Every structure is written in structure tokens, then in C-alpha cells.
Amino acid sequence: MARIAFFGAGYAGLVSAVCLAELGHTVALRDISEERIAALQAGRVPFYEPDMEELITKNAERLSFTTSMDEAVAGAEFLFVCVGTPPTYSGDADLSAVWSVIDELPPTLEDAVLVMKSTVPVGTGEKVRAALDARGLTRVGYASCPEFLAEGTAVRDFMESDRVVVGSFEETDGEKVGALHEGLNAPIVRMDVPSAEMVKLAANAYLATRISFINEIANVCELVGADVERVAQGMGLDRRIGTHYLRAGIGYGGACFPKDMSFLKLLAGNSGYHFHLVTAVMEVNELQMRRPVAKLQKHLGPLRGKRVALLGLAFKPNTDDLREAPSSVLTARLIAEGAEVVGWDPVADASSVLRGIELAGSAVEAIAGADAAVIVTEWPELRDLPWQELRGTMRTPLVIDGRNLLDTDAMREAGFTYEGMGRTASPFASLPETVEPRASS
């Protein structure tokens, strides 16, 4: 078992640190935020992520939290950099937090491996390697080990990893980082540093492309009378395609996909290549977030003075993250059209993020008196609401389901004007969700 120093107590850093402690390693997590470290020392997770508080309590003897660089690196064999790299105004990655960590490393460090877990542009590893050498830290190794964690399922994503990608300049450094993850039932994929840096961007760009693709198919389905859920079902049973990320909706958000798409587009552009596909995926996503507004106008006419309830504000369920959330775009567009906007989310606090919106204490409260309700985040409790009773509390029984969460026929039978994304009332609605393909003879 190894001693590990972690820099950055955000989503990826904290989850990765806690999960490595769960594997038996001793982990010291350092962050410059005194408030965040104090919360962690008290056993409180500064964001919503299932299972995190329980794991921190369980591994308390192997976990420590500090704001001190010297305390974090004392005796450490691995130095994991997992600080934020937000986009700048130009769309490039802001690496200032990464360089702050590198600059603060004690000059006496040796026989440790610095592991880059932050999402960084391809070529960053070579620059960090050169900076370490320039500071005399030639005995500090370097490896790239990108994270592939999805908010809301991050602990599971780490403990049940599909793969662990490790890029290194020296063979022995890569072997050491791979050995850290031997407790996982996942292949260790070894490669060079630039390739490892590219894997994260390429993987997220591909997943975002699938989302935008199925959303485009949904938009065409609405025009021709097809049902995107049946289309996606028929596509997904093809082994070459699969079912993941084929749920039509109102677009992707969060801290990763938008940022990584921007990084990849800029990386290509700065290298002399115009990445047409990534540009198109980003444009489709921006337009998709606005589609519920057009659907509301179709049913209600001008939205001035209309009260619209946004159900779910986080960018996805099981997280409180509002970064790049579709709710932000919808709120701004609805207010621009003169609508009154009331929002609800079971865990996200939008009071300092969404301006001009009234926040309700419950979904039922948000729906009462509304001219329309828009499902923005597919929180499962929305499926269990007493919709038939709620119909009578609305000015207009109109539901725009931006995540295709509810049953079309049931909502229409309850007296709602109901519209999803790319869905129609299908005579085959009672078919099972999947049909196993027949074995070929």
C-alpha cells in the first residue's frame, strides 16, 4: 500500500482520493480552501455525491485533509494533481492551478511520481516535465492518468472502472501508477503521455456526439411522426451501436462535456485543423436546450405573463452541480420572453446561480398555479408525483417533458397536454423496453 498526496478537493479529486483510500492506500488531500478542508475534517462533503460521506467515515484512518503543502507531501510516493482547469475567455484551458501546484512542490522531493489527473490539453505533460527538470526535480517521475467519473455515479465509476489509462515518459513510472489500481477489476491501459491526455477529450467528445446525434434524430422524428424511443431501441440492439447515451432530451451540461468539447475544438484549431464535427455537436446542443421554449410558445402563444415551472435544475440527477446546466439557458430565455419562472430541485441550491427565478420548496409547490411545467432534470421522484391530482392545481395542464421521463399515454389520459422530445403516442407503447434478438442459425 502506498502513501499518496492529492491536490484538489473538487469532484474528481475528492472521489479519486477517497476511493484510493478504500483500496487501502494512505491519502493526504490538500486544498487551498480552508472552508472546504474544515468541512471535510468534520466529515461533511462540500457537494452532493452518493456514498461519499459513508466512504470518508469508513476510511477515516487512511484519509487526512490539509491546506499545507508540506503536510500533504511528507513521505508521499505519488503526487496526484486534480485541480480545476476551467476554460478561459478564449476557450483554452486555464492551467494556473496546475502550475501553482508545480511551483509549490518542495525542492527536496525525490523518488515520487507526479500523476496528472486534471483534464489538460495535449502537450501539457511535456511542459510539466520540463518545468520539473528546470527546478531540479529530476527524480520526480511523471504520469498522466485521466479520470472518467460521471457526477452522480462517481464512486461506482471509480470502483468499477472500465479501464485505467496510464501514460508515462518512463516505463517504471507507468508501472508504479498502474500498480496503485491493482485492487480494481479493470484493465490497465499503458501508453505515451500525449495519447493519455487525448483519451479523455476524445472519449467525452464521442459521448457528447452520441447525445447530439440522438437529439437531432428526435427532432426529425417529431416532423415525420416517428418515436425516437423506439428508434433508439431498434438502434441500440445492434451490437455495433449499443444503448448508452441514446436518450433524447434537451442537451448535455455539467463541468466536463462542454469544457472538453471546447478544449478539443481549440486544440485542433491551434494545431491547424478545423474540427467540423465537434463544432456541429456543440451547436446542436446549444439549440437543443432552447427547444422547450418553442414548444411552450406553440401551446401557449406569447409567454409574457405566463408562469412556467422548471422541474429539476441540476444538469443531471444525483448531483447538485449547476454548471452549464440546461436550466440556466431555459431560465434566461423564458425571462427574456417575459415569463415568470419558478424552479425546483431536490438538492441543487440555485439561489446564487439562476437570477430572476423563484425557487419552490417542492415540485408540487412549483407546479401549483403554473401555466406549464417543464421537466428539465430526470429526477425519479418526478415520475411518482400524483399528476392526476396536480392537473387541477395548474392554470393550464401543459407538461413539456425535456427528458422523456413520463409515460405519454398516462399523462394524456390524465388530461394533460403532454409533449416530450421526439415522441409520439404509439400504438406499440405497451411493448417491453427491450426485445432480445433471436440467435442466428
Q: Catalytic residues, which ones?
A: 256
Q: How far apart are CA 216 and CA 281, in angstroms?
A: 10
Q: How far apart are CA 324 and CA 256, in angstroms?
A: 9
Q: How far apart are CA 254 and CA 322, in angstroms?
A: 7
Residue 189 exposure: Cα atoms within 13 Å on the Cβ side: 15
Beta-bridged to residue 166, according to DSSP, are 190
Q: Are the CB atoms for 357 and 350 separated by under 8 Å?
A: yes
- Comparing CA positions, the residue from 72, 77, 63 lying closest to residue 115 is 77
Q: How open is the CA angle 276-277-279, to the nearest 5 degrees?
A: 65
Please report, for residues 44, 119, 314, 322, the alpha-carbon distance to residue 48 in angstroms, rounded to integers and kept in the order given.
Answer: 10, 21, 11, 12
Please report, for residues 27, 28, 53, 115, the alpha-carbon distance to residue 64 in angstroms, rounded to integers and kept in the order given.
Answer: 6, 5, 14, 19
The phi and psi torsions of 290 (rounded to 5 degrees) equal -95, -10
Please report, for residues 105, 278, 369, 376, the alpha-carbon distance to residue 291 in angstroms, rounded to integers and kept in the order given.
Answer: 49, 20, 23, 12
Beta-bridged to residue 87, according to DSSP, are 93
Q: How far apart are CA 74 and CA 321, in angstroms?
A: 33
Beta-bridged to residue 78, according to DSSP, are 4, 113
Which secondary structure element, helix H or strand E, spans residue 164, and what is its range?
strand 164-168
Q: Are the CB atoms for 256 and 204 separated by under 8 Å?
A: yes
DSSP string across 357-396: -EEPSSHHHHHTT-SEEEE-S--GGGTTS-HHHHHTTSSS
DSSP string across 183-199: TSSS-EEEE-HHHHHHH
* CA quadruple 215, 151, 406, 433: dihedral sign: positive
